[in-house]
Amino acid sequence: MAPRSPLIVLLLLFVSVPRCCYSTAAAAAATLSSPSPSPSVRSAPLVPALFVIGDSTADVGTNNYLGTLARADREPYGRDFDTRRPTGRFSNGRIPVDYIAERLGLPFVPPYLEQNMRMGVGSAGLTNIDGMIQGVNYASAAAGIISSSGSELGMHVSLTQQVQQVEDTYEQLSLALGEVAVANLFRRSVFFVSIGSNDFIHYYLRNVSGVQMRYLPWEFNQLLVNTVRQEIKNLYNINVRKVILMGLPPVGCTPHFLEEYGSQNGECIDYINNVVIEFNYALRHMSSEFIHQHTDSMISYCDTFEGSVDILNNRDHYGFVTTTDACCGLGKYGGLFMCVLPQMACSDASSHVWWDEFHPTDAVNRILADNVWSGQHTKMCYPMDLQEMVKLKL
């Protein structure tokens, strides 16, 4: 391995220094991770609540409360967000669930760990659960479908653990509101699930524990999808009926892998994208099979890959200048190192598809959210988009 430059060493030291006293830091972060949108006249919500399960594509501050390197609670993250401050979102501004909450007429959904800290473990009074009534976000950066995916970065909340937190929320709300009321709340609410990239980025592609010798790509994908199916069934058992299930983006087009695999002119890495496409196909097939077996459930699979490739192939139409270079990063394509200092960022993120080595900009997140909502730019969701889903009565 080539020796690191003094700048890289300095940056590594910066991000590896523990954030002192997590309980104190968490208390300070609570005021930043779930701000209200800019004041506006909001119509009545289209659904009672939005619940979010996922990884850094959906994390709004969970990892602010954990000992991990996978944190976005420092500048320049959040510089273009409503509050102009970092909140834990891995973007320069909003992420898709923020735009979706707005479409649903709901406030931004707060992190589960923040709510637990505020209400205290075991509290179930009406006042204490007020912040959870319109939704909770359980998503955790670096989390995967496999529990150990991303563990080299530190603590995270895996898919299975997040579903357990949903079950805990169900119990907490039932104690305060009664089980009939909470069953009805969950049946009518939207559950947004976006997870799986880290099982490739931090597990399969790194060949952790020799996984590539034990599983061919299609076998690994089946393992992942079977796990997702079980967790969807666990949610179904607590009356979850409306689910938006996000497919994976073109991971092989991220600045990180363009850099790592030595892409000469910004060509995506086909090997990685082919594995992701195969996973997405299996995920879509599973969701279709699930709603066939559980006819009172609504699961819409949304093809993030398809929506993202449309943006990459039509950058001029969407107003992007570059589809390869991260706005914030180091090295060719900005994919050599994570975004940790404001000085590393470009001046105008809206001209970039990618914000950092793995995550898209606010501008891309808005387009993808529009597609989830109504297929405004390109059809992504099957068998129906979110706008259609919320209109249907159970």
Give catalytic residue positions. 56, 356, 359
**Structural tokens at position 171:** 């119990």
As a residue count, the chain comes to 394
Half-sphere exposure of 217 (CA within 13 A, CB side): 14
Contacts of 294 (CB under 8 A, 6+ apart): 236
If you ran DSSP here, which 8-state letter would residue 253 be given?
G
In contact, 70 and 63? CB cutoff 8 Å = yes
Per the omega criterion (within 30 degrees of 0), is the bond before 76 cis?
yes
Among candidates 331, 328, 321, which has minimal Cα distance to 352? 321
Among candidates 118, 239, 232, which has minimal Cα distance to 174? 239
Give first-to-last CA distance, the chain, whole Å.
58
